[in-house]
Structure 1
Amino acid sequence: MDTEATFPLIISVDDHTVEPADVWQSRLPKKYLDVGPRIVRAPLKEMTFLGGRFRPVMGEPGDDGPLGDWWVYEELRRPLTRLDTAVGYSRDEIKLEVITYEQMRPGSYDVPQRLADMDVNHVQSAVCFPTFPRFCGQTFTEAQDHELGLLCVQAYNDWMVEEWCGPQARGRLIPLTLIPLWDAELAAAEVRRNAARGVRAVAFSEIPPYLGLPSVHGDDWDPLFRACDETGTVIAMHIGSSSRMPSTSKDAPPAVGSTITFANCCFSMVDWLMSGKFERFPNLKVMYAEGQIGWIPYILERADVVWEENRGWGGVADKVHRPPSELFAEHVYGCFFDDAFGLRNLDAIGVANVLYETDYPHSDSTWPKSREVGEAQMGHLDADVVERIVRGNAIELLGLTPEGLWSRT
């Protein structure tokens, strides 16, 4: 196909927003403003990122060290870093360092500037995961005051729907909301509250037990899964949404974890396929953001073998009644931005189960050349296949308009 002439406008299912400083300060009750999330400019004392663990230490006023903007919430001190928003910098200039809002690309937090950067990148629409709350709201789950945490979740969702994806976005930004992970009933209520205003995606943890939460194998999450099943809300799981990036040792450099970022997605998908949830909730859909897709064929092959040969003693015979690969085809979506190997093995994954992303504004992002990357990697595919991967599957999954835009109705 002539991709240069026909490459479709991209719908990215995994971008990110850096929340403006006033998201919570303008929405929380007055009594919580001194403990709720707020921005403080302060020096960095030290910061490490080893063994998959990020450990920053905030200095005191007057201390030596580079100045950065820090989110302060209860006892948490979390700086904005160059890894939060790296687009516009050469790969060799991207370091683990604190930054201020003035030192990031405005499209990271400003809607009109984001739309302009999407135009540069041949992107029509985008789903954006959070930054300060972390990829599924772990920040609020780990907080001491869950009454405040629930208000913070709701405030974020209100900002996401009403401002980030509000009128000025013109339907080009697609809402992804959070839930209070510590209470499945409250989580279900928040899914329904947002579904009533057109939201069709909610963030969840790839491996909840890593957060001290129940696994998907029991019944604890059923109220949430039922709400998603009944409202057509997609469960979106981003790498790192377990607060534990894959690594091999405490002293392994970040490059080790960066190479194997897909690993938690792999483990998570096996959990879901062997959980029986897809048979209990037939409308449930899950997607793995930034997990790439090249690893999927072998996992499906192995899962089918285990189900066929070992289900009697493997503990799944009474709840998984169909081959896992069939369940995958109906319920699971892999997301990629740079995976030539996966695209060469698309027949073993399924054209209908693949979504495209750009990861703006992270250091891995293909911005501003997402179109060129897509053209290079999808040039061997028929035009209708490229159309489905780049936008058609996302339109169907997220309930977008035929034009690829989000609408409240």
Structure 2
Amino acid sequence: MTQANPAGPTPALEEMPLIISVDDHVLEPRTLWWDQLPAGVRERGPRVVREKVTLEFSGGNYGFRRDVPDGQWCDVWVYDDLVFPTGLLHAPAGFPEDEVSNLPAIYEDFRPGVYDQAARLVDMDVNHVEAAVNFPNTFPRFCGQGFAERGDKDLAYRCIRIYNDWMIDDWSGGAGRGRLIPLTLVPLWDPELAAAEVRRCAAKGSYAIAFSENPSRLGFASMHSGAWDPLWEACQETGTVVTMHIGSSSHMPSTSPDAPLAVSMTLSSQNAQGSLCDWIFSGTLARFPQLTVAYAESQVGWMPYLLERADLVWRDGVGGVDLPQPPSSYVPGRVYGCVFDDQHGLISREAVGMGNIVFETDYPHSDGTWPHSREVAHRLCSNAGMDAEDTYRFLRGNAIKAFGLERFGITK
């Protein structure tokens, strides 16, 4: 189905706007914490050991076996009681499609752009990308669960600060300034400390944090508890956007213990649906009217019905919440859904809200579109009948607004 476009045609391929990707990933430097932590705790901090392992997946969960003679060489992150193997699926960009599978990997298996700033900028140029927001990629996981789950919270917070300083000063600094947009982590176990870290990072020039789509699943306070209000106050005060990546609750939807990975991947947007309900019905968006949130890898085609249903529940008055305005009223210009392949969502963009849709290349993941993101974006926009204005908003204009990229010199 292609939507008619009376406003004008989609720009030609060579005239497509430069892309701003709101969801890419960077592989953490292998020696970052070893180099930065004091000698007394260095052995307990994150570090890499190389050994042979095998990887498994079942029922929405990854598994592995260590020290397997017939396994493959793997860079394994070891941090206190955590053991986390690096897999090919962490960064398969550039691999032939028939070689991409759930296999162990060492850093040398990957493209240098996965972890090297100069090489990343080259890969972005090849991919018609001007700027990108980068999430973690291995043991920290998508919102810092790898730190939050450790028993020694003093060491964990020290490790978070090391990561954030590297993200701001090194990965997003120098030649990366204005192109690699910093995204930092917060200590999820302490909302007050998290608020302080938001303010510290904002003072250094970072205005986006990774948060969990469902902190209750991680064993922390729910969105309905009010416990996170100090963090939201700090984000609103500093103009920091709250980003939530699919899987940041350490849980992926599945249907049974033996369901294949394909089931979880197909159902992944369910996490965002539940999360948005929490943000709305907890009253958080109502209490913090300047707060902005974004869902990475969420897609958007589900949003119109979810909000229609939420409004109906609100009008019936039997849902146990007291919101001053309909749930859908809190979304425009404040809740962004990130698209890499959602043709239905783009065709339904007026129902979704054109101002709420942003694009991602998801480099270097298997769902990513490198090095063909411009071609993919052109196909999506053309098939949806999007004119030059909507194409611009989708590929960069909405991202500039959502992430306040004027602060990085990106104004149009």
TM-score range, shorter chain: over 0.9
Q: Is the 8 A contact 2:23 2:297 kept in 1?
A: yes
1:263 to 246, 261, 270: 270
TM superposition shift of 1:3: 2.9
Alignment correspondent of 1:112: 118
CA–CA distance in structure 2, aligned partners of residues 330 and 322 of structure 1: 16
1:213 to 211, 217, 220: 220
Q: Is the 8 A contact 2:214 2:249 kept in 1?
A: yes
Equivalent pairs counted in the alignment come to 399
Matching residue's letter, 2:161: Q
CA–CA distance in structure 2, aligned partners of residues 219 and 296 of structure 1: 25
Question: RMSD of the alignment, in Å?
Answer: 1.4
Alignment correspondent of 1:193: 200
Q: Is the 8 A contact 1:11 1:404 kept in 2?
A: no
Matching residue's letter, 2:188: L
Alignment correspondent of 2:289: 282
2:332 to 329, 334, 339: 329
Matching residue's letter, 2:64: P
Alignment correspondent of 1:142: 149
2:355 to 349, 352, 358: 352
Alignment correspondent of 2:321: 316
1:394 to 383, 399, 404: 399
Alignment correspondent of 1:79: 85
Matching residue's letter, 2:28: E
Q: Is the 8 A contact 2:243 2:296 kept in 1?
A: yes
Matching residue's letter, 2:48: I
Q: Which runs of 4+ in 1 moved over 2 A?
A: 401-406
CA–CA distance in structure 2, aligned partners of residues 15 and 133 of structure 1: 15
Residue 202 in 1 paired to residue 205 in 2? no
CA separation of 1:10 and 1:17: change in aligned 2, threshold 3 A: same
Q: Is the 8 A contact 2:280 2:286 kept in 1?
A: no
TM superposition shift of 1:47: 2.3
TM superposition shift of 1:350: 0.7
CA separation of 1:231 and 1:403: change in aligned 2, threshold 3 A: closer
SS in structure 1 at match of 2:306: helix
Q: Is the 8 A contact 1:127 1:173 kept in 2?
A: yes
Kindly report which structure 2 residues correspond to 1:336-375, keeping only aligned pairs within 5 A, or say none. Answer: 336-375=339-378
TM superposition shift of 1:103: 0.6
Matching residue's letter, 2:360: E
TM superposition shift of 1:30: 1.9
Structure 1 window deviating more from structure 2 (166-175 vs 179-188): it is: 166-175
CA–CA distance in structure 1, aligned partners of residues 207 and 160 of structure 2: 17
Q: Is the 8 A contact 1:395 1:402 kept in 2?
A: no
SS in structure 1 at match of 2:198: helix
Alignment correspondent of 2:314: 307
Q: Is the 8 A contact 1:42 1:58 kept in 2?
A: yes
TM superposition shift of 1:404: 6.0
Matching residue's letter, 2:270: A
Residue 129 in 1 paired to residue 135 in 2? yes
1:99 to 105, 117, 133: 105
Q: What's the TM-score, normalizing by structure 1?
A: 0.95
Alignment correspondent of 1:52: 60
TM superposition shift of 1:229: 1.1
SS in structure 2 at match of 1:83: helix
Residue 230 in 1 paired to residue 233 in 2? no
Alignment correspondent of 2:387: 382
Kindly report which structure 2 residues correspond to 1:24-43, keeping only aligned pairs within 5 A, or say none. Answer: 24-43=33-52
* Identical aligned residues as a percent: 52
Matching residue's letter, 2:236: D
TM superposition shift of 1:5: 3.6
Structure 1 regions of 5+ residues with no counterpart?
none
